[in-house]
Amino acid sequence: MRYVVILLVGILLGGGAAIFFLGTPPAKSAPGQDVRAPDQGGAPPATIVVTLEQSFVEGMLATTFSGLGAPTFNLSQNQRDGFERVEQALFQGGCANSITLLPEGSGVKTGVQFRDGNIYVPMAFTGSYNLGGCLQFKGWAQNKIKLTFDQEKQVLYGHVDVEGVNLEGVNPIANNFVTVFVQSAINQKVNPLILINEPQLSLMIPVKASNGAVKARAKDVRAEILNGSLKLYVTYEFSGMRGEG
């Protein structure tokens, strides 16, 4: 009876009711500092520019789906007490309770789009959840990626922000709740993305004649998002290390 009451309120009040009872899907905080656009006066000394074309990302994603299989995330392993209690009380059964990303579906191709100064990531998916019976659903989510840089860890992160979820063939009674589950799965299972880590970002240049090496650590990362490509401006600071040759 309790879940019937919650569903009826969800019909009357829309998505706001689902979020009120189940809680707003929590997003993990993005580590580091926001990556800003390059200065108009030009890049400072000791800066390299790395260009990432959209076609490169598309090729990598295609290999992921064909060579590794479609990524699948569990929808039931949520650590928030309130959310978990509602799940355990309302949704029991033998469903997979998972969401699987698809290379293409619902008229949308999963990928990364560099345009209008933003990084957009449409994601097509399919899944199931036990909602008084095994509910099968499919659709797509519109997402943005925000870049952050942690100088201490030497890691460039991507943080996925779910802007909207579009479902197909889901009963209006369950639509709001499935939307919350999908948003929660992306927020909790995908974030934060490690785009570039320390071994790829830091440099060690041996200098045999001096019996040492020059170490380069990134002190700042800027990004310029063009239509079809992403340019990263990485500014380094150098230090000499003896005996590291």
pLDDT in tens, 189-209: 777 888 888 988 888 889 888
- Backbone φ and ψ for 209, nearest 5 degrees, come out as -60, -25
Assigned token pair, 191: 């974030």
For residue 173, which phi and psi values (nearest 5 degrees)?
-60, -40
Which residue in 100, 97, 90 sits closest to 76, CA to CA?
A: 97
This prediction has a pTM of 0.73
Ordered by start, the domain boundaries in the chain are 34-242
Q: Which residues pair with 48 in a beta bridge?
A: 234
Tell me the two tokens of residue 232. Answer: 């990263």
For 140-177, write each residue's pLDDT tens digit. Answer: 988 899 999 999 999 999 888 888 888 887 776 666 77
| Residue 21 pLDDT | 38
Fold of 34-242: Bactericidal permeability-increasing protein; domain 1 (3.15.10)
Check if the beta carbon of residue 30 is closer than 8 Å to that of residue 192. yes
- pLDDT in the model for residue 160: 84
